[in-house]
Structure 1
Amino acid sequence: MKKLNLKIEGKECILYMKENENTEYVLIQPVDEHDIDALDNEVRYISENISKNFSLAAFKIDDWNSELTPWEMPLLRGKGNFGNEAGKTLEFIKEKLIPSLAEFINIQEKNVKYILGGYSLAGLFSLWSGYQEDIFAGIAGVSPSVWYKDWMKFVKNNEILAKNVYLSLGDLEEKTKHQILSKIGDNIREYIEILEISENVKNCILDWNEGNHFRDSDIRMGKGFVWLLENC
């Protein structure tokens, strides 16, 4: 696949695309430096496991603790708070990123499907975005931060608009002495049950991976996108 490094509204973006082919699916992923280093392998995994024609557009998050969270809560360590700028990030995707992609990708506007996914806080952001907009055919929350304050209250009182939802978690992630982080296992089990009975959701899955939060993030993301490409 061709790889392009772009600047869109001042944000660093990486676009993977096949030339001279009509893109059926556009995968969108907020990333940090670690994710960027792993993107080549992630895209390779997706390409090797799916035959559908896709492009992947990743954009760099400068302030991970503010740009991906919809409301404030105290940081897990040290002083300060997570921010509440998820709305601005979603606005960038909808108003700037998606329209700009049409300049670089051969998009048949009526047919293309957009899939949003992310890892950790970016996974939480992706899931939250699925409640705000109906433009995403699928959402991948990979090792998502569902321990976040009031997240379970939020999902119990709102209906997700995306029809297809992929969740995954490492089997060691809940085995921590940290009081907040240890909630992630129970929360994600309860969350998949909520999605399973949602009238809006067509397909959903909770996929368990071996290891802790930091293991094989590229493969885990790839698995999530492959599942959504197969089910959207």
Structure 2
Amino acid sequence: MNIRGDLMETIKNLQCFIHGKKQAKYLLIQPIDEHDLEAMEEEIETINKTTKDYLLVGILVNDWQKELSPWFMPAIFGNQDFTGGADLFYQEVKEVIKEVKVLYAMQDANVIIGGYSLAGLFALYAAYQDEYDGVVGASPSVWFKDFLSYTQTHPIQTQYVYLSLGDKEEKARNKIMASVGDCLRTYQSYLQNETHCVLEMNPGNHFKDTGIRVGKGFSWIIQNLNHA
């Protein structure tokens, strides 16, 4: 599978990884970086076990800490702050979604947004801005300052939420990142009464099987939509 070559397209001035088919039933949207590209083959193989009736659009993120963070938060590792550019980047993502629907004849597709780590947080944040058929937060950065309180004052606009975590992530040396398990369990409890939500634990730390974990999330959403 040629991951880096002929599967890359420029859509609305953003570099996008494209895999799948036109007129598919499911449109999968995922903010990605170079590491996600390297894991894409495993992700696709995982989704293919559930369906091949999809188009996956991975949107390359240029500045992870800026474009995926919903508001300012001081750096928790290194010296790069989270500068709160998610709202602006999200408008660009929405333009990509609209263009893809036209280019690939997918106006009636089920749209699922998902991501890994900070991109998982961004995907969850997006589901509070607009209606989606499902959202995937794989090891999402729900430890992000004030995110949990934000979710208490804004309704999520989807019925299906997939959350996951590596079983060693709570053992991180960084105290804020080590709080991710407690934050995720709290977040899941918030969602239980208003969505179909699952929290799946995976073996390993934050960097293990990232593509497989995102693929499992998309597959879970698709399976639930098929049986709805």
* 5+ residue gaps, structure 1: none
Q: Which amino acid aligns with 1:64?
A: W
Do the aligned residues in 2 keep the contact of 1:24 with 1:52 (CA within 8 Å)?
no
Q: Which amino acid aligns with 1:118?
A: G
Do the aligned residues in 2 keep the contact of 1:173 with 1:185 (CA within 8 Å)?
yes
Tell me the distance in 2 between the aligned counterparts of 1:221 and 1:188: 16
Tell me the distance in 2 between the aligned counterparts of 1:147 and 1:102: 33
The counterpart of 1:13, out of the listed 8, 13, 16, is 16
Tell me the distance in 2 between the aligned counterparts of 1:12 and 1:87: 19
Tell me the distance in 1 between the aligned counterparts of 2:45 and 2:12: 28
Length-normalised TM-score, structure 1: 0.91
Deviations 1:150-194 (Å, cap 9, x if unpaired)? 111111222111111000000110112322111111110111011
Q: Which amino acid aligns with 1:35?
A: D
Partner in structure 1 of residue 209 of structure 2? 216
Identity among equivalent positions (%) equals: 39
The counterpart of 1:119, out of the listed 116, 132, 145, is 116
Q: Which amino acid aligns with 1:219?
A: I
Tell me the distance in 2 between the aligned counterparts of 1:150 and 1:102: 34
Do the aligned residues in 1 keep the contact of 2:116 with 2:140 (CA within 8 Å)?
yes
Shift of 1:9: 2.6
Q: Which amino acid aligns with 1:227?
A: W
Cα RMSD between the aligned structures?
A: 1.7
Partner in structure 1 of residue 181 of structure 2? 185
Length-normalised TM-score, structure 2: 0.92
Partner in structure 2 of residue 172 of structure 1? 168
* 5+ residue gaps, structure 2: none
Task: Tell me which moved more, 77-86 or 158-167.
Answer: 77-86
Do the aligned residues in 2 keep the contact of 1:72 with 1:82 (CA within 8 Å)?
yes
Q: Which amino acid aligns with 1:82?
A: F
Runs of 4+ in 1 over 4 A off after TM superposition: none
Partner in structure 2 of residue 194 of structure 1? 190
Do the aligned residues in 1 keep the contact of 2:61 with 2:67 (CA within 8 Å)?
yes
What secondary structure does 1:78 align onto?
Answer: coil
Shift of 1:100: 1.7
Please show how residues 1-232 of structure 1 align to structure 2 within 5 Å: 4-18=7-21, 22-47=23-48, 49-51=49-51, 53-94=53-94, 96-107=95-106, 109=107, 111-134=108-131, 136-198=132-194, 201=195, 203-232=196-225
Aligned residues: 222
Decide whether aligned partners of structure 1 residues 103 and 131 sit closer, same or farther in structure 2, where only a CA change above 3 A counts.
closer
